[in-house]
Amino acid sequence: MACRDLEKGKSAKEEILSRLCTENSSNPSSVHSVEMKPDQLVCEELDLESPKSIRQFAGRIISREKSVSILINNAGASLSGKSYDGVGIEKHIKVNHLGHFLLTKLLKPCLRTSDGEFCRIIILSSLSHWFARLDPKSAYLSGIGSAYAISKLLNVMHAREICKRWSTDGIVAVSVHPGLVRTSIFRSSKLRHFLVYYLVRWLSRTCREGAQTTIFCALVENLIPGAYYSECQPRSCNSQALNDEVCDHVWKTSEALIKKWESLEEK
């Protein structure tokens, strides 16, 4: 379990273990009962805004784990407006796409299963990707729509391109829309406005409800490579994500931007 804030991660771990213990105690004969020992749930520090942190995290995982059978790229940020770093990379693009892109590439050596099945990469996207249009010639992955929506479109494209490039390595990827979920993703956005905040809470799902499509994609037998899933079903996606040339451009541009990003951190 990768966490930017280790203390919050440890608190989440304790809550997960406590809930499992409570649920198992209340219904020990249930087929859904899951036993988990504390050392089976490990918290690791990971800041997707820092290439150095990403490389350190990946190094620890590769040195310790023989294989990673399921990788869930779940992090996301929603900020007020657009924010750029010293080399011109927008923050939503950096955290929501480039961080996952770099992490996934670094972990590739151990992305495999022990039983010969395909390793699964699940990338959290959003319905908002429909409201974005990427400039297919942009050197900074910019386009029409909010930076958040563009980053979510990039998530869909990333999953599709992984399948095209890595399928012979036994790796399959999908993107997922979890629905509007009550998390802290909007902590830095204008959704703090009192009325909007409570409207969102009224309309949104619990974390448990929002996780169902992700869990489905992690476990279902006949996962469709490169598909965009919502409500535990494959759904249609933004037509631009189906354009092989644009997806290829996104991959190559992401590699170039990561080099710029890392050079900025080294200064």
- Confidence class of residue 73 from pLDDT cuts 50, 70 and 90? very high
Specify whether 148 is catalytic: yes
Q: 70-73 and 44-45: which strand pairing? A: unpaired
**Together in a domain, 215 and 256:** yes
Given this model, what pLDDT does residue 211 score?
Answer: 87
Q: What's the token pair of residue 265? A: 């951190």
**Together in a domain, 104 and 11:** no
**Together in a domain, 123 and 18:** no
**Together in a domain, 86 and 21:** no
106 near 54, Cβ under 8 Å? Answer: yes
Considering the candidates 148, 197, 228, 229, report the single residue annotated as catalytic: 148
Given this model, what pLDDT does residue 186 score?
Answer: 47
Q: State the CATH number of the domain containing residue 232.
A: 3.40.50.720
**Together in a domain, 138 and 192:** yes
156-197 residue pLDDT tens: 999 999 999 999 999 999 999 987 655 554 455 554 454 444
Q: Collapsing DSSP states into helix, strand and coil, what is residue 31?
A: coil
**Together in a domain, 140 and 258:** yes
95-109 residue pLDDT tens: 999 999 999 999 999
**Together in a domain, 90 and 222:** yes
Structural domain of residue 169, as residue ranges? 50-266
**Together in a domain, 105 and 2:** no
Given this model, what pLDDT does residue 201 score?
Answer: 53
**Together in a domain, 13 and 82:** no
**Together in a domain, 94 and 172:** yes
Nearest C-alpha neighbor of 185 from the set 152, 153, 158: 152
**Together in a domain, 24 and 135:** no
